[in-house]
Structure 1
């Protein structure tokens, strides 16, 4: 017998522990080399664990267990023959297709019983309780053998939270390591930064004109959509160059400024919020931004995103507008010092050159760490974003949209 010990590989620097999120195989199954056998959660991402060899597997950890990097989580008997007639290993289901079993948690031991009566209600008591729409079982009877008396019924009053026959189940499930880490970081951001949010609004008429005119040619040439994110990313990288304090972070008693813009883009994945990073976004063209965002979003959606792809951003953009949000105060993604919130686009009347017109308007919000970013920089940054989006032809495309879009 030849036994291979499979140990938890390191998902990335500084990560010392992961959690077994889901076993994709059962104890005693025959697995093929490189077959995905488990999904493991780190505090940054969910990753698949592939089998290192073919053979019969013995599981050494349960779902939900926290295991250290380097710990043995399963054994594979590589000398075992593949069972005759066995079907090829099934492909692991996509993250969005898997469903977690929801279990109803038992009531705490200290919880009061929902049913009090050990006997039945007297006819007079039942009539009174029916008139009050009170279930006799919710009344503690004082008569013989727990019988609900007329006096019990008269004294009974419906109260907030009295069971009425409808469903009253509860659900309890352990949060994933990723979700717990996100929660910790959000609380950390609120508690350790001097966070403030400033707002503005953007008229997206010119952006819409450019997208309408060139989106078909752009898609045909680059196999990518000409979306709003490339315009916003280009506007943000320009503003970061004008206001470098926004593109910085605190390290102890020092401020670190960056001469590059690694833009974290918040996306919704099957395991919750993920924030992959577009590296050196200031050097990318519209095509480059759209292609990289599409690549990262697809990997996040399919559960293939790596820790390295979500580490090291200098500024974040989040788009609550895709879910219908009109206005919000986004929370800083530490150790970064700034985050831009996009929102939904609403056509509404605005004054343009003394005339009331209907225009596609969006509220934008900048949350920032007031410890190193002053009001002048924060407001100036947001105004610079607004200016670029309202005059993209000149400020983002150098008056040559075909060249900027590589058409």
Structure 2
């Protein structure tokens, strides 16, 4: 027998959730053939068989959380399998006599045992039908069957509603006991579960994906562990838009990729990071790590939540290379084909809420990074050119959220002003690069 174990996935990933088994017990699998899909914090990974044989046993089901190195199934290298999982049928045949005893077995059963056996079977069937959602320990279920008590009527002292043996032992069958203090305690712990019984207030319960849970936990963690502040500025996008309008057709002909705004912002951010290196750092214990490379994360909205693929060595890439890489990463994110290597090691993040119409926001840090730049919607507004002249200009608010433990207000404002000035004079980006 060969064990199927959860392999090492990445340095920052220690567990995952089984999304689905692609093979069933009894199926024959070839070495290298896909066995199951594992959902991790960042991407979904398909695990392959390390040897050929029959999938003999599945130890973890879909939805179970598994740790790296944990055994989740067994493969019989000498077994003969089938496509329909026929290995399970002998178990069903072995159980058949329990539900349909033969006449020979009925004669051998003592008369005084038959009523008890029939009663237990009837009680089990009724209980399974009435209390399919009741959570109870095996000892509690056994005692309830012996006493002829419905588990639905037994109050639980457990804050999560699980029934235990002592709950059944203490139950005296009175209706008043169901209104004992144990029930309000349970209601306090699970108010939503109680409210869904109201047909006039319909609700739908959807299990959060592992990725969405991880996003939620990390966003809360960042806010609790960093001294996060946000500073704002606005950029006159006239020069960038004029340059893009003049060059976009030729740019596309030469590079087969469209000239967007993200390459301008990426170049401006890299130039500003070189002037303000603290924004390109992170805290590791009692040390401050200043990074001399520029791997810029670009936040992308995918079906299951926000992901941040990374443009590596953005300081060494041309506008066309940056645009091409961002386009490719965004497509992989939408198709759920991002690899772990696409998401790891960013030093700074850019997020663009403007594509959804956001006019202003305070982006949350992408830990352990200490800075994130938020782009917003370009909106034409009247701008004072001097004391006497006003013009309508395409303006964009930009926001820098930063960790005040590392970056002081002076550096944060200076960084944002540098980005603003570079974007308002886009030709200077070539000199800075």
| TM-score of the aligned structures, taking structure 1 as reference length | 0.72
> 1:277 aligned to 2:310?
yes
For residue 319 of structure 1, the aligned residue among 343, 352, 368 is: 352
Distance 2:395 2:134 in 1: 49
1:346-378 CA deviation, whole Å, 9 max, x = no partner?
222222355322222211100001112111111
Higher relative contact order, structure no. (Cα contacts within 8 Å, ≥ 6 residues apart) = 1
- 1:11 aligned residue: 9
Distance 2:336 2:317 in 1: 25
Distance 2:74 2:331 in 1: 33
Structure whose residues are more often helix by fraction: 2
Q: Measure how far apart 1:255 and its partner are.
A: 1.7
> 1:72 aligned to 2:71?
yes
Q: Matched residue pairs, number? A: 327
SS of residue matched to 1:396 = helix
SS of residue matched to 1:15 = coil
Distance 2:262 2:30 in 1: 41
Task: Tell me whether 44-53 or 331-340 shows the greater mean CA deviation.
Answer: 44-53
SS of residue matched to 1:12 = coil
> 1:390 aligned to 2:424?
yes
Distance 2:52 2:248 in 1: 48
* Unaligned runs of at least 5 residues, structure 1: 85-104, 111-160
SS of residue matched to 2:241 = helix
- 2:299 aligned residue: 266
- 2:62 aligned residue: 63
SS of residue matched to 2:401 = strand
Distance 1:18 1:253 in 2: 30
- 1:371 aligned residue: 405
- 2:212 aligned residue: 179
SS of residue matched to 2:10 = coil
Distance 2:311 2:290 in 1: 18
- 1:300 aligned residue: 333
Q: 1:324 to 1:29 in 2, by over 3 A?
A: farther
- 1:356 aligned residue: 390
Superposed, 1:2-401 pairs within 5 Å as 4-29=2-27, 31=29, 34-52=32-50, 56-57=54-55, 58-76=57-75, 166=200, 168-173=202-207, 175-353=208-386, 354-393=388-427, 395-398=428-431
User: Does structure 1 conserve the Cα–Cα contact (< 8 Å) formed by 2:43 and 2:340?
Assistant: yes
1:192-236 CA deviation, whole Å, 9 max, x = no partner?
111110011111111111222222222222222211111100000
User: Does structure 2 conserve the Cα–Cα contact (< 8 Å) formed by 1:46 and 1:271?
Assistant: no
Q: 1:348 to 1:78 in 2, by over 3 A?
A: farther
User: Does structure 1 conserve the Cα–Cα contact (< 8 Å) formed by 2:279 and 2:370?
Assistant: yes
| TM-score of the aligned structures, taking structure 2 as reference length | 0.68
User: Does structure 1 conserve the Cα–Cα contact (< 8 Å) formed by 2:27 and 2:81?
Assistant: no
1:289-347 CA deviation, whole Å, 9 max, x = no partner?
11222232222222222223222211111111122211110111111111001111222
- 1:97 aligned residue: none
Distance 1:326 1:55 in 2: 58
1:261-315 CA deviation, whole Å, 9 max, x = no partner?
1111111223322112212211111112112222322222222222232222111
SS of residue matched to 1:389 = helix
* Unaligned runs of at least 5 residues, structure 2: 84-131, 136-151, 154-194
SS of residue matched to 1:64 = coil
Distance 2:287 2:236 in 1: 38
1:133-178 CA deviation, whole Å, 9 max, x = no partner?
xxxxxxxxxxxxxxxxxxxxxxxxxxxx9999645133141x3333
Structure having the higher Rg: 2
Distance 2:408 2:322 in 1: 29
SS of residue matched to 2:288 = strand
CA RMSD, 1 decimal: 3.1
